[in-house]
Amino acid sequence: MTMVTNETVNNWVREMAEMTKPDEVVWIDGSDEQLEEIKKVALKTGEMIALNEEKLPGCLYYRTNPKDVARDEKRTLICTRKEEDAGPTNHWMAPVEMYAKLRKLFDGSMKGRVMYAIPFSMGVVGTDFAKYGVELTDSIYVVLSMAIMTRVGQPIIDKLNAGADFTKCLHSKAQVNEKEKYIVHFPEDNTIWSINSAYGGNVLLGKKCLALRIGSFLGRKEGWMAEHMLILKIEAPNGEKHYVCGAFPSACGKTNLAMLTPPDYFKKMGYKIQTVGDDISWLRVGDDGRLYAVNPENGFFGVAPGTNEKSNPNALKTTRKNTIFTNVARNLDDNTVWWEKLDKNPPENGEDWLGNPWNGKTSTEKGAHPNSRFTAPAENCPTIADEFFTGEGVPIDAIVFGGRRAKAEPLVYQSKSWDHGVFVGSAMTSETTAAAKGQVGVVRHDPMAMIPFCGYNMSDYFQHWIDMGKKMSDPPKIFHVNWFRTDEKDEFIWPGFGDNLRVLLWMLARCKGEADAVETPLGYEPRPEDIDTTDLDLDAEDLKKLLAIDKETWQDEIKGIEEFYSQFDKLPDEINEAFDALKKGVEAL
């Protein structure tokens, strides 16, 4: 392996090693041979468990501390020199104070351990979209997961040696002490430090930390966008290809939509769906005035519970080899994994996610943690698109915002313009899930699904969206969806999953000017007859319910939006104008 010759990189690694005091520093070259040797160490120490080699070849099982099972937003900070640059939706501390606090925690945190230096790329190496980083860690789980989630090894070392900028990422699991856990971003230094956690969302620093928090900061500075969005490719029977980006808070069906399986009716017609990305999009304006997106990741970090042959067969197939399963249940009879809603055959001789003996037939306790995960290579996905591997970017026809709302939001509506769409995204709400620490089922505002991930002041982020719209001669159309509306019995009205394609096809028809719509205070809605319900057990009355806008409910929503907006010193004029129009429209209902 060619050594790192870039002295800026080497000096930083030496400085971090002097602080953390590991016994040894090992550079990761990304080779199968090296990763296999490292895996053996993790199996020997018990940090990880090898699963059934015949049924789950190359797969590993990993368990976190019971108090370290999700992203910890209260312990995630954006440290800019000025507090207003971080904004009211982020936790902030002055960089000089935070560095001092963290240095004490990192001091000697790797004694008796190996420091692994992981050179990685977000995006295909050498493309305009690519960003490089080096993560230093004392966790083998991080090494093996980063080798799945990012591009790791020699091509990145070559870029570093040629003088490429890089994000400095330091992680130590230290004592996995929840009271001293911090995930800290220093955007102005292009630096991320994470300590006292071993859960993926807090420690795989290429993912949410670089790709979104630091990425959004860099995007604003450099004129592009880093977004919490899937990228879906839809191929029509006539061969026309369209690309859709979608922003949804965690556990709101984003991965399911990214790997959607068309209903038989559409499959027989010749519709094909492919996956470009399931979680993060980096977007730039092309020379033709259109918006282009890439998925900067190299793998999927998906929520396991609820993933099954019906909800997401493609995700399930993706996990069948070279995957790391975290905090799921384990079947001791055949050394495989299980989680809630995988199937109706939980193991009788099993271990739950805490490692306790567990009989899924009789236990009232869950076998898998609600936020248990799989970390799987994207290349495993049966629907992965060729465009994923080029990393050059695909032209986006539509952007979809969506959250989990039982009553307020209709099934789908289209914004009246790009600027109005920015307002729609800024007012997004969702009911909370287990993906983040805290109470489940609470309605919270989550603009563009970015509230936990925006690396700077969110009012400036909204302005950046407005400014990006001005750079486009042919911007994507913006839509809002809600797959989760319920009836009087609190049962979902819309079937969801593959049938969401029916709504996407109306959107694409709108993009091409080929579908009708009705103007409402929220935007343009389809008429019930505009959604193709062939072979669907759903009548016109159900669709009316799904598309209904209730005046009283929306008066309450408006109060919630006002309260959310009140924390910002300034908002773009375009957002204020769209909000005023919504208020008038709702009052006129």
What positions carry a catalytic annotation? 252
Angle (deg, nearest 10), helices 551-565 and 573-587: 160
Does residue 456 contact residue 216 with C-beta atoms inside 8 Å? yes
- The partner residues of 445 in beta bridges, in order of sequence, read 429
Residues contributing to the annotated binding site for GTP: 251-256, 373, 404, 497-500
Partners of residue 231 on adjacent β-strands: 245, 277
* Of 208, 93, 199, nearest in space to 139 by CA: 199
What is d(CA 123, CA 383) in angstroms, rounded to the nearest whole number?
A: 19
Long-range (24+ apart) CB contacts under 8 A made by 557-561 are 557/408, 557/429, 558/582, 558/583, 558/586, 560/429, 560/443, 560/445, 561/427, 561/445
* Sign of the four-CA dihedral 75, 80, 83, 88: negative
Which residue ranges are tagged as binding site?
A: 71, 199-201, 208, 228, 250-256, 279, 371-373, 404, 497-500
What 3-state DSSP class applies to 325? strand
Contacts of 152 (CB under 8 A, 6+ apart): 28, 30, 118, 119, 120, 121, 146
Binding residues for Mn(2+): 208, 228, 279
3-class DSSP state for residue 61? strand
Nearest CA-CA partner of 305 in 161, 448, 435, 444: 435
| Axis crossing angle, helix 95-106 with helix 7-20, rounded to the nearest 10 | 60
Helical ranges in 229-299 per DSSP H: 254-258, 264-269
What gap in Å lies between CA 316 and CA 369, rounded to an integer?
18
Q: 500 in helix, strand or coil?
A: helix
